[in-house]
Amino acid sequence: MFIGDIVGSPGRKAVSDLLPGLRDRFELDLVIANGENAAGGNGITPDTAAEIYAAGVDVITCGDHLWDQKEVEVLLNEEPRFVRPVNYPAGTPGQGSAIVNREGLAPVGIINAQGNTFMRGELDNPFRRVKEEIKKILPQTSVILLDFHAEATSEKIAMARMLDGEISAVIGTHTHVQTADEFIFPGGTAFLCDAGFTGPHDGVLGRDWEPVVERFLTSQPRRFPVAKDRILLQGVVIEIDGATGKATGIKRVSEALKQ
């Protein structure tokens, strides 16, 4: 299972409360989550990451809010289950991919990359960097998932088309809006343009809606507190043939937390 961007304490609670039931229902072997908004809606810290791992998440990916909390350096330097975008410049702390080895399960490679379209332009070309990372992982496993943290749908689809048949799945994150385009491409690569987000859906992308509207009306800075209600865990469950690395099933998930 891949869990869409976890937003603040409501998102962390959704993972803690709902993931055990989802693990049983879908007989999950591995859980990956994007945690770049886990700490108060901005970035991630060792404490918030520990809470997510304790809830049953195996690997945490990130995105453009990677540097919002200075404590993230601890995760980058010391946590092998934490993956940041692979296309940061050479010498950046941390790792752009990880491989999970578990008894009775084929090794699983997880890559994180950040898009360039409408995003921070100083990062390396994600298409080239992802290709290079796949070459490094393939000798160890053919089961590979990419969290492509990007704004433009065209960039996400293009990435998946390029990688069809080379990896198991390309799952988009960042927009916080779950798309309905889940599909397995002819070469066996599962795709979803955006996994959505895990947290409060009664505002605007996880934030209270009033200051967001004020920002649009006045063009003046506003603080955007994390919203509180209609909490959902969103993501996707992917079935993969461990022998071939081909995806055989994909299903969107949007589970409500009872409040």
What are the residue numbers of the active site? Answer: 65
Bridge partners of residue 34, in order along the sequence: 61
CB 107 within 8 A of CB 101: yes
Among 119, 120, 56, 62, smallest CA distance to 93 is for 62
Residue 147 to residue 157: CA distance in whole angstroms: 13
Q: Annotate 69-109 with DSSP letters as a single string.
A: STTHHHHHHH-TTEE--TTSPTT-SS-SEEEEEETTEEEEE
The total number of residues shown for the chain amounts to: 259
CB atoms within 10 A of CB 185: 16
CB 84 within 8 A of CB 107: no
Q: Annotate 44-68 with DSSP letters as a single string.
A: --HHHHHHHHHTT--EEE--TTTTS
CB 43 within 8 A of CB 67: yes
Q: For residue 215, give Cα distances in angstroms to 119, 202, 207.
A: 20, 18, 13
Among 141, 241, 240, 250, smallest CA distance to 193 is for 250
